[in-house]
Structure 1
Amino acid sequence: MEDLVLNWELGTGGLLILATAAVAFLLVLIMAFKVHAFLALMVTSILTALVAGIPANRLVESLGFGFYPTLGNVMLLVALGAMLGRMIEASGGAQILANRMIGIFGEKRAGLALSVASLMMGFPIFFDAGLVVMMPIIYAVARRVGGSFLSIALPSAIAFSAMHIFSPPHPGPVAASATLGADVGQVLLVGLVFAIIIWAVVAPLAARIIGPRIDVPVPEILDTTREESGFESTPKVSTIIMLLLLPLVLILLNTGLNTFAAASGDADAFKSQTWVMILRALGETPIALLITVFVSMFVLGWGAGKRGTLIEKINDSALGPICSVVLVTGAGGMFGGVLRVTGIGTAVADSMSDIGLPVIVAAFLIAQIVRLAQGSATVALTTAASLMVAVVSAGHYTDFQVVALVMAMSAGSVGFSHVNDSGFWLVSRFFGLSMKQTLASWTLIQGAMAIIGFILSLGLWALASAVGF
């Protein structure tokens, strides 16, 4: 797709103006003219591509650059997660687990309990997959407790996001570590500490400040008519917990084997063994969710005496409501992909790398600006790492200084999620938020996570510089 970047005459300034105008146009379409987000994102992507100089005969190709990968990744995870969530909810399991959690932790701490569970699940599971699996439980707890839905929901989303951005085995920090030559074990240790601190600071503030100010009802996207379908079976709490933990265990198996392979001295030889390849495949997120869906079909359906046609009906009913989520999220990836094709993020990053800022500041700002320009946190992090690798190689930095750089870039890559980020639309749709409400909540939350992460990175950098480790 690099050959589509044809109109470099615009220069960095022109590309920035184009990106700003595209975002403004999108906001006007959705907020002023009430155009559906999917249509607005598609129109804006087309116009941005044409203005950037992409030829008309390559237009559809440029749209697909971001749309198809995003749609493919999101569709599998959201569809499988929705099926699992629907069966848990339709069986009555979500309500049973919610009641048990409230009985143990009390209504005032129910949101905290959900958030802690999300933090643990977020270690191996990607942000979108984990959030989809947890949504039925979040909905059930919110209905049971009452009050502000966002005060219950936002802390869990923050937990998943913090783990996804700062901690291996998630792709951003792993790729940055590999590019800069950082020790993955050290990045894992520091990333977990950073993620927990950021979650502990931001989640309570979001629950107390943002949640009560944005009053939205509990979404009905995963609701079902279990009273009419006869699928309710009052499963045991232990059964529901097992279903939630099963994909976690499978994915951890994949992560553990990858870690062991890296430490074995010959990773390729270890990974090429048949039994390792099979176990690693079982731990891939889509496969792990697929296995869990079939297990849930057995324990909540066939094992509870439900007919196969009823189980099929429940699974099928999960897919319709999430079509809008998947398409809008894919269209968000389309818009971000078009911005990447125009070269906006790369142009800005190249200019930033020549300014001469302190290396830790430059690492953060490059990732943050690329994130703002094109949306993808993983792309922002890997772009920043590729631009900083020459500086790191020539700088003779200590191990933990390099880790601090990875954390600074991770912090920059999460900051101020907005309309060109597919995750922005995922949160918007599953939380029942308008675009304006999502900007006033999720965008600010992601910005706060970025700032706190950068402050922690500065502290680690200063400590590593002073101690020399």
Structure 2
Amino acid sequence: MTRLSVEMLAADAPAPITSAGHAQLGIAVLVGIAVIVLLITKFKLHAFLALTIGSLVLGAVAGAPLDKAIVSFTTGLGTTVAGVGVLIALGAILGKLLADSGGADQIVDTILAKAGGRAMPWAMVLIASVIGLPLFFEVGIVLLIPVVLMVAKRGNYSVMRIGIPALAGLSVMHGLIPPHPGPLVAIDAVKANLGVTLALGLLVAVPTVIIAGPLFSKVAARWVDVPAPDRMLPQRASDELERRPGFGATLFTMLLPVVLMLAKALVDIVIDDPANSTQRVFDVIGSPLIALLAAVLVGFFTLGRPAGFGRDRLQQTVEKGLMPIAGILLIVGAGGGFKQTLIDSGVGQMILDISKDWSIPALLLAWLIAVAIRLATGSATVATVSAAGLVAPLAADMSTTHAALLVLAIGAGSLFFSHVNDAGFWLVKEYFGLTVGQTVKTWSVMETIISVVSGGLILLLSLVI
């Protein structure tokens, strides 16, 4: 970023709520993040409360009047929830409809019926990647665990040979691909193009998931050679249904929002005329809100009806899909409040002023910041929203593609080395019957591979596009 562009950004930016110098602002950032980390890890406080308190502490240490710090936080919270809250809700509804109707089971069973032997890990990564598009990570794990255990038992596979590809597919989707909450928040923070981010995210995700999934699973299975734990397999949704939707209809519904958003991005590149009627149509149907809403409405007919769902059952599915996301929405919103407090305190401009003389690329800086926060808090979402707030000003002078790559760099860093302060670590440990050491050697290493490989691919892409 040139000195001229930094000066132009400074002229356009609103006046900060504090007159603190760079040293005080730097201390404020460190103290604010330290408070968040301490509250989450030591005192086990919910991330929403930790982010709220950390934002106010940051403002206070930076010398901002408390009333202005509160306004910054609430403004950021409201703007973030307004920007991504509806999308998260629609994604949750679609995921719940997919699970309850048996559509996800249909995808799983169809692919497994055509795979066997050495192809099984590749089938598992394909299943997890497809199912992981509309589902939150934790939901995807619960959905796929019965399949992983069943395949491992019937085929006499190591749990790691089957489980690692499934976990890799889910994790990559969670960290890099919208409409998952983390990528959506980062896109909103840096004002990136969602369609371009989605396209580049898929480009990065494919080689990443291959390396961290089927290929690494060979090594993981040698390191930790454990059979499927002897426990009762959880019941699948379709076991209670007389019928379920077909493979083609389910796949069409799941991929519909992705296709619409990618089509919008393609039309924007080919036509590049905001006044063109065709581009305006695609701008509407390819917007995340319309794309996800269309998928939900189509899903009522392609997933709900074949499963025998009446109006009451569909209503119950929608309600059950929305209930678990309250915590996610609050964390995402508070992360947006923290981001806005950073910006209004002048931290964003401070990073611009300092980094303009650095030789470190902005994408690598974003990745490193996300890694540090991920290691400290254990939350990929907290790492994403915090890092996005810190580096968002760097995107103001970037091209559309590089702004999208900045989002992906943040997402890649947020997945680095999951350990004992991450709920996902314990989820994997308990489901697969592993010790802490075995979980580190498999799950934690897999997450690190995803972060490093995707980060490297993002840096390579930045050199050629």
TM-score (norm 1): 0.67
Does structure 1 residue 295 correspond to structure 2 residue 298? yes
Q: 1:337 to 1:171 in 2, by over 3 A?
A: closer
- Identity of aligned pairs, percent? 23
SS at match of 2:317: helix
Does structure 1 residue 284 correspond to structure 2 residue 287? yes
Does structure 1 residue 156 correspond to structure 2 residue 160? no
* Counterpart in the other structure of 2:251: 241
Asked whether the equivalents of residues 177 and 198 of structure 2 are also in contact (C-alpha less than 8 Å), the reply is: no
* Counterpart in the other structure of 1:89: 99
Does structure 1 residue 453 correspond to structure 2 residue 450? no
CA distance in 2, matches of 1:191, 1:312: 33
Structure 2 letter corresponding to 1:19:
V
* Counterpart in the other structure of 1:43: 53
* Counterpart in the other structure of 2:340: 337
Q: Which runs of 5+ in 1 are unaligned?
A: 122-128, 178-183, 218-222, 390-401, 420-426, 465-469
Q: How does 1:162-311 map to 2 (within 5 A)?
A: 162=176, 196-203=206-213, 233-262=243-272, 267-270=273-276, 273=277, 276-302=279-305, 305-311=308-314
- 1:18-60 Cα deviation digits (max 9, x unpaired): 2222222212212211212221221111221222222222233
SS at match of 1:132: coil
How far off its partner does 1:62 sit? Answer: 0.7
Asked whether the equivalents of residues 100 and 238 of structure 2 are also in contact (C-alpha less than 8 Å), the reply is: yes
Q: 1:93 to 1:333 in 2, by over 3 A?
A: same
Asked whether the equivalents of residues 416 and 446 of structure 1 are also in contact (C-alpha less than 8 Å), the reply is: no
Asked whether the equivalents of residues 25 and 44 of structure 1 are also in contact (C-alpha less than 8 Å), the reply is: yes
Does structure 1 residue 22 correspond to structure 2 residue 25? no
How far off its partner does 1:287 sit? Answer: 0.9
Which of 329, 335, 343 is the matching residue for 1:326?
329
Structure 2 letter corresponding to 1:269:
A
Asked whether the equivalents of residues 42 and 331 of structure 1 are also in contact (C-alpha less than 8 Å), the reply is: yes
Q: 1:235 to 1:268 in 2, by over 3 A?
A: closer
* Counterpart in the other structure of 1:348: 351
How far off its partner does 1:432 sit? Answer: 5.5
CA distance in 2, matches of 1:210, 1:4: 52
How far off its partner does 1:256 sit? Answer: 2.9
CA distance in 2, matches of 1:38, 1:354: 35
Q: 1:226 to 1:156 in 2, by over 3 A?
A: closer
Does structure 1 residue 73 correspond to structure 2 residue 103? no
Q: 1:46 to 1:110 in 2, by over 3 A?
A: farther
Structure 2 letter corresponding to 1:63:
F
CA distance in 2, matches of 1:309, 1:446: 42
CA distance in 1, matches of 2:164, 2:333: 24
CA distance in 1, matches of 2:250, 2:363: 41
Q: Which runs of 5+ in 2 are unaligned?
A: 1-11, 150-158, 230-234, 374-382, 417-421, 430-435
SS at match of 2:460: helix
- 1:73-99 Cα deviation digits (max 9, x unpaired): 332122111111212211222122212
- 1:401-456 Cα deviation digits (max 9, x unpaired): x98x889867754453389xxxxxxx96899589x999967984575146523763
Structure 2 letter corresponding to 1:242:
F
CA distance in 2, matches of 1:110, 1:431: 25
Asked whether the equivalents of residues 22 and 48 of structure 1 are also in contact (C-alpha less than 8 Å), the reply is: yes
Structure 2 letter corresponding to 1:321:
P
* Counterpart in the other structure of 1:124: none
- 1:383-413 Cα deviation digits (max 9, x unpaired): 3354679xxxxxxxxxxxx98x889867754
SS at match of 2:274: helix
Asked whether the equivalents of residues 24 and 61 of structure 2 are also in contact (C-alpha less than 8 Å), the reply is: no
How far off its partner does 1:135 sit? Answer: 7.1
Asked whether the equivalents of residues 155 and 207 of structure 1 are also in contact (C-alpha less than 8 Å), the reply is: no
Q: 1:134 to 1:291 in 2, by over 3 A?
A: farther
Q: How does 1:126-165 map to 2 (within 5 A)?
A: 130-132=133-135, 139-146=142-149, 147=159, 152-159=166-173, 161-162=175-176
Asked whether the equivalents of residues 41 and 331 of structure 1 are also in contact (C-alpha less than 8 Å), the reply is: yes
Structure 2 letter corresponding to 1:66:
G
Asked whether the equivalents of residues 125 and 165 of structure 2 are also in contact (C-alpha less than 8 Å), the reply is: no
Structure 2 letter corresponding to 1:7:
T
Asked whether the equivalents of residues 129 and 173 of structure 2 are also in contact (C-alpha less than 8 Å), the reply is: yes
How far off its partner does 1:139 sit? Answer: 3.9
Q: 1:175 to 1:277 in 2, by over 3 A?
A: same
Asked whether the equivalents of residues 131 and 157 of structure 1 are also in contact (C-alpha less than 8 Å), the reply is: no
* Counterpart in the other structure of 1:104: 114
Asked whether the equivalents of residues 73 and 337 of structure 2 are also in contact (C-alpha less than 8 Å), the reply is: yes
CA distance in 1, matches of 2:307, 2:191: 44
User: Which piece of structure 1 moves more, 155-164 or 320-329?
Assistant: 155-164
Asked whether the equivalents of residues 38 and 331 of structure 1 are also in contact (C-alpha less than 8 Å), the reply is: yes
* Counterpart in the other structure of 2:378: none
How far off its partner does 1:319 sit? Answer: 0.8
User: Which piece of structure 1 moves more, 300-309 or 50-59?
Assistant: 300-309
CA distance in 1, matches of 2:310, 2:404: 51
TM-score (norm 2): 0.68
